Structure 1
Amino acid sequence: RVEDRVPELEQLERVGLFTRAEIRAVLRKASALEYKIQRRALRKEDFINYIQYEINLLELIKKRRARIGYSFKKEEIEHSILHRVHSLFNRATGKWKDDVQLWLSHVAFCKQWNAKHQLSKVFSTMLAIHSNKPALWIMAAKWEMETRLSSESARHLFLRALRFHPECPKLYQEYFRMELMHAEKQRKEKKEFEKAKMDLGEFNYSEEILNGEMARIVYRDATQKIKGVEFQLAVLSIAKLFDFTQDLQKEILENLQANYADDPLTWDYMARRELDLGSLKAPGHPTKQSKVAEMARREERCCAVFDEAVGALPTENMWKCYITFCLERYNRKTNSEELKQK
């Protein structure tokens, strides 16, 4: 109701953030917007316009505060406006439940104004209605992990999501990534405590978790349900982002070669991998010539794998992979004459 605004508007005038004329203008505009959302035939656009007006008002108050250097009375001013925006969003999403963009706008608003408690409720209600959308589960789990720093809540969300989508590759990939992030976080914590010579007795750091064993369990469970080389390569690329996953990478690579040896993408990956596998570094500072020579050797090793690949799997797709690689390297102005000839 418009009369509920009076205390916050009086505060805005009293502290010098708004003039009396501006307060009257806000009241007139708010009355018009309020009238539209009280009609029997509700329109989504009226709610969106009202919400946008309130957000613009919040931004204006923020700028005015910065300009005059006044930071008090936020409880009486901003908090009541924030509460009203949340109420408007709740009414709108309650009326137009299927509009995912409306839900996402509320999520974005909560993030912008750091409304963590409110956002948790928004995610909970949204997922109850839109449980058929894996991307929303991933968004909620990432927020729990990265913003609220709760790997337990993120794990719970991923497990719930997988009950609805037991064969969704993206869900498994992000769950796999989350478990590795959790392991990395614990490793860093343990290292800091050890550096500070603190007693680790009260902290339960499991060696299995520190070594990424939870991620391995997620990976093995996923491979029972999801077939295809693309998924294997996706989780392998995620594992490579973490410096403690050598054993896990080895297991994924072995599965890739054992189960997908007749897939051109496996050969393509194995060949391109040679570019990243450097040889033993020569003593002293590397010169430009030595760097060029080293890259040429790596490219030759790539070509040797591709030559083996087109011999073992002489398909159109395999040749396409080989040609694409050669063109990519050629466009990088490589100095390898042999590659240019290929």
Structure 2
Amino acid sequence: MAEYVQRSCESMIKELEVLRRIKLFSDDEINRIIVVRKHMESKIHNVSKSLDDFKSYISYEKLLLKKIHQRQNERGISEKKGWLDNRILFRITRLYQTAVQRFRSDYSFYVEFFKFCRKHKLNSAASQAVDIIIKMFSHKPEVWILAAKWYWHLKDANRALKTLQKGFTIHKQSIDLYNKAIKLELDQLSEADSDVRSIQEQLCVVKIKTYVSLILRNITDLGDILSTLKIVQDHEILKETQEEISRHVFQNYTMDGHLLPPFEEQVRALEEGG
């Protein structure tokens, strides 16, 4: 353990020398940073290490980075700014990556890692985090939405939509997945070039009809179904889809929003009531 701690501390020497040389931190402050980091390194290399040890180390490094930015701005010091950022961001990313490999059950920590990468434009690490999240937590519907939003952010609309489609084949009763897919189809259509607009429009209508058919087959909550109607109701090209949803609601739900029993049961009830 001592060897790993020593090696990690030695890798920080140049960074600390820069902080001292450009007068962002005093000698006493640098020494305190060394003490804290050595303590943190000892904790995460201990046999009985815990996720909280990694969280504490990550929080400390984030605070340190924030303090560096604050002093750079206050003192007008720009020297080595990008270099220092990269060094500390790399350390935090490495801590996250090590922790998620060792502690696989904490979903919120995985999401925290992804959000950190996204915030600092660490796109490669963010994509890796999304891949791991899908693999580890595919049983959570919100995971598929998180992944789709990320791929959309990367301008990969097709992958975003395929991710949602895969998600609602697993989570057939998740209205959020269906609705997100419909919204992304409409967003993609709105961004289509004029020369392919007509073809994209036809494709969009067909795909949304498919999504709505799945919704009406798998979703029973009236409020959920009406949330889909709200998304499509302002789009003239989806007139038939709007009518299909409305027809389904009036045929299958009572005035107070309860699902009517199957037609055969309704006939049987009338006969028995005779």
Same fold (TM over 0.5): yes
Q: Secondary structure at the match of 1:171?
A: helix
Q: Which residue of 1 is the match for residue 64 of structure 2?
A: 57
Shift of 1:135: 1.0
- Find out whether 1:167 has 2:160 as its counterpart: no
Aligned in 2, Cα 1:262/1:89: closer, same or farther, shift over 3 Å?
A: same
Letter in 2 for 1:215: I
Question: Mind listing any 5+ residue stretches in structure 1 that lack a counterpart?
Answer: 191-199, 267-342
Letter in 2 for 1:158: L
Letter in 2 for 1:26: I
1:2 to 9, 25, 30: 9
Shift of 1:209: 4.9
Shift of 1:47: 0.9
Shift of 1:108: 2.2
- Find out whether 1:70 has 2:77 as its counterpart: yes
Aligned in 2, Cα 1:240/1:117: closer, same or farther, shift over 3 Å?
A: farther
Q: Secondary structure at the match of 2:13?
A: helix
Shift of 1:262: 2.7
Letter in 2 for 1:15: I
Q: In 2, distance between residues paired with 1:208 and 1:55?
A: 46
Aligned in 2, Cα 1:14/1:215: closer, same or farther, shift over 3 Å?
A: farther
Q: In 2, distance between residues paired with 1:171 and 1:105?
A: 22
Aligned in 2, Cα 1:72/1:252: closer, same or farther, shift over 3 Å?
A: farther
Shift of 1:75: 4.3
Q: In 1, distance between residues paired with 2:27 and 2:198?
A: 61
Q: Which residue of 1 is the match for residue 164 of structure 2?
A: 158
Aligned in 2, Cα 1:84/1:217: closer, same or farther, shift over 3 Å?
A: same
Q: Which residue of 1 is the match for residue 30 of structure 2?
A: 23
Contact 2:54 2:95 in 1 (8 A): yes
- Find out whether 1:32 has 2:29 as its counterpart: no
- Find out whether 1:239 has 2:225 as its counterpart: no
Q: In 2, distance between residues paired with 1:13 and 1:209?
A: 63
Q: In 1, distance between residues paired with 2:102 and 2:55?
A: 13
Q: Which residue of 2 is the match for residue 218 of structure 1?
A: 211
Q: Which residue of 2 is the match for residue 264 of structure 1?
A: 256
Q: Which residue of 1 is the match for residue 112 of structure 2?
A: 105
CA-atom RMSD, angstroms?
2.4
- Find out whether 1:185 has 2:178 as its counterpart: no
Aligned in 2, Cα 1:172/1:123: closer, same or farther, shift over 3 Å?
A: same
Shift of 1:205: 5.9
Q: Which residue of 2 is the match for residue 227 of structure 1?
A: 220
Structure number with greater Rg is 1
Q: In 2, distance between residues paired with 1:235 and 1:207?
A: 21
Shift of 1:181: 1.9
Q: In 1, distance between residues paired with 2:79 and 2:24?
A: 11
Q: In 1, distance between residues paired with 2:169 and 2:238?
A: 27
Contact 2:151 2:160 in 1 (8 A): yes
Contact 2:141 2:177 in 1 (8 A): yes
Query: How many residues are treated as equivalent by the alignment?
Result: 251
Residue range with higher mean Cα deviation, 13-22 or 94-103: 13-22
Shift of 1:84: 1.1
Letter in 1 for 2:65: L
Contact 1:208 1:214 in 2 (8 A): no
Q: Secondary structure at the match of 1:77?
A: helix
